[in-house]
Amino acid sequence: MTSLDIDALLSNTDTEIIICTGAGGVGKTTTAAALGVRAAELGRNVCVLTIDPARRLAQAMGLTELDNTPRPVSGVSPGSLNAMMLDMKRTFDEVVEAHADPERSKQILENPFYQALSSSFAGTQEYMAMEKLGQLHQDDSPWDLIIVDTPPSRSALDFLDAPARLGSFLDGRFIRILTAPARGAGSAIGRIAALGFGIFTNVLSKILGAQVLSDIGTFVAAIDTTFGGFRERADATYELLKKPGTAFIVVAAPERDALREASFFVERLQSESMPLAGLVLNRVQEVEAGSATEEQITAAAQRLRASGEFELTASLLELHAQRMALKERQKHLAARFESAHPTVPIIAVPAMAEDIHDLDGLRQIGAELADKNNDW
């Protein structure tokens, strides 16, 4: 197994963006925060963009809250660390405000369809994560490293696919159809198009309801005359993700579904020539090595129980045997991943005894990430 050299990656000043991705619930956010702390203590000026972190993680970085503005984290040197939590609606609002005059901006922001789109439309969170990354990665940025914790999507691939889908929707045929009558209303062809559009909208109003359709039409008319290029913006950030200064770290737990998801994502990155740094295999089971096998320990526990004595000792032996069995299952799953992807560097991070609740806990995770001897 090729070991992932985290310190080399973090210390390399050519590394400007690190994307932590993987299935939900595998520890991406904690990994991103731990990488941020370690990078800052290696001398980098870091901004960590998190998505929906647990309250305890914000507290671990010494922050009472995270919002859409980077906040400095104290107690980290010689570099610096800032952290923020993506507010997808606020980020969408900022895009509108940056491209529209105050009157047009107010019209868009108050539109019911826009409010639904910016709050809960499928793909909006992933699109706005890319928007925010683009905002943070400017020539005059105070950070030389940005670490992104990707959204907790149903699939890790959503981070790559959803922005393009949303961009295609906002720049696509449906939007052009809705805005066509307004653009061509003064011509004979425009009047014919408007007649056809009327039939089309009558059908839509039966499906969606007249008010919803009216809200969509008002939103489209306002946004079409103000700014466009949603797909182009998504494509530009997508190209940024392909540059040599970007590194993807896939995070997975040693579980069948999580590693299957990681495998899909690795194959996607490789097929599109995106810079994959390696895999973090998180929360692996550690068991002290000994001469006794799992079967021998289980048999000893059974003998103690049969004797009617030493119940506590028998319970401890059974627990130890269960952990040995879990470790073997995890090793088997990791070996299958490694066999399928022999060129992908891997680092294993042991399961922590308790939740991370302070900077020292994040430092401990960072040290485990950097320990190239963490193998099985």
Task: Return the structure tokens found at 198.
Answer: 């009327």
Q: Which domains does the chain have, with CATH numbers?
A: 6-100+125-158+235-288+342-370 (3.40.50.300)
pLDDT at 196: 41
In which band, very low, low, confident or very high, does the pLDDT at 32 lie, cut at 50, 70 and 90? very high
Total Cβ atoms within 10 A of residue 17: 20
Any alpha helices (H) in 121-209, and if so which ranges? Answer: 124-136, 158-171, 173-184, 188-208
pLDDT in tens, 200-259: 344 444 444 455 556 666 666 666 555 556 667 777 777 888 888 999 999 999 999 999
Question: What's the sign of the alpha-carbon dihedral 318, 320, 321, 325?
Answer: positive
**Cα separations (Å) of 214 from 179, 193, 201, 221?**
13, 18, 10, 11
Ramachandran class of 364: left when φ > 0, alpha when ψ lies in -120 to 50, beta otherwise: alpha
How open is the CA angle 329-334-340, to the nearest 5 degrees? 130
pLDDT digits (tens, 9 = 90+) for 118-147: 777 767 778 788 888 888 888 788 999 999
The mean predicted confidence, pLDDT, of the chain is 79
Give the separation between CA 282 and CA 133, rounded to whole angstroms: 25
